[in-house]
């Protein structure tokens, strides 16, 4: 059975009134839609490019029990996903998981972004190298190639905002 919001968005996508830049998502869980979904907050430990110490990076979100055919690992390469990972960790008694995440200036992008930083020297870890390494781990071991840092109930409306943000940051599993 489809989630009521997913069904509505898919129906809108087939119509001529759909704007993928601004999908109209409900502010509350629609009738027939669960109020929360259990998500895995995924991460990996890697050596910092600057100091060489091991540092934990938040990588993404994936349903704890995905429906058949679900294939999207939503990565922290997308700022909405990073913000939700950070909020879920901090709001569920695990602030140490997100201690390295903050708004940082990227010289490559020439703008500020919410990104992973080294827990030892605070150096920006950079979305490109972090997610290239994560992609290699996912290619080798699927979603279980990453570490499950936390399994937590997330309000479904917050999850939908990530799923229906078409700004990138999704790995097909």
Q: Which pLDDT belongs to residue 126?
A: 85
Across 150-172, b (16+ Cβ under 10 Å) vs e yields bebebbbbbbbbbbbbeeebbbe
- Over pLDDT 70: what percentage of the chain? 91
pLDDT digits (tens, 9 = 90+) for 87-112: 999 999 999 999 999 999 888 878 89
> Pairing relation of β-strands 111-116 and 101-106?
antiparallel
pTM, rounded to two decimals: 0.87
The residue ranges of every structural domain in the chain are 36-172
In sequence order, the 6+-apart residues with CB closer than 8 A to the CB of 9 are 23, 25, 160, 164
Query: Which residue from 94, 116, 98, 97 is spatially nearest to 106, judged by alpha carbons?
Result: 116
């Amino acid at each position: 059975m489809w989630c009521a919001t997913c069904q509505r968005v898919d129906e809108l996508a087939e119509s001529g009134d759909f704007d993928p830049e601004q999908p109209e998502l409900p502010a509350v869980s629609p009738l027939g839609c669960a109020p929360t979904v259990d998500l895995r907050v995924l991460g990996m430990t890697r050596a910092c490019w600057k100091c060489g110490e091991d540092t934990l990076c938040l990588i993404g979100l994936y349903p704890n029990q995905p429906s058949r055919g679900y294939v999207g690992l939503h990565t922290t390469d997308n700022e909405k996903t990073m913000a939700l990972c950070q909020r879920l960790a901090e709001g569920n008694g695990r602030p140490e998981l997100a201690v390295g995440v903050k708004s940082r200036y990227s010289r490559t992008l020439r703008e500020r972004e919410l990104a992973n930083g080294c827990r030892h020297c605070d150096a920006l870890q950079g979305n490109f190298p972090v997610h290239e390494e994560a992609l290699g781990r996912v290619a080798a071991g699927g979603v279980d190639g990453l570490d499950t840092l936390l399994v937590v109930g997330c309000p479904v409306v917050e999850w939908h905002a990530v799923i229906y943000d078409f700004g990138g940051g999704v790995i097909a599993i």
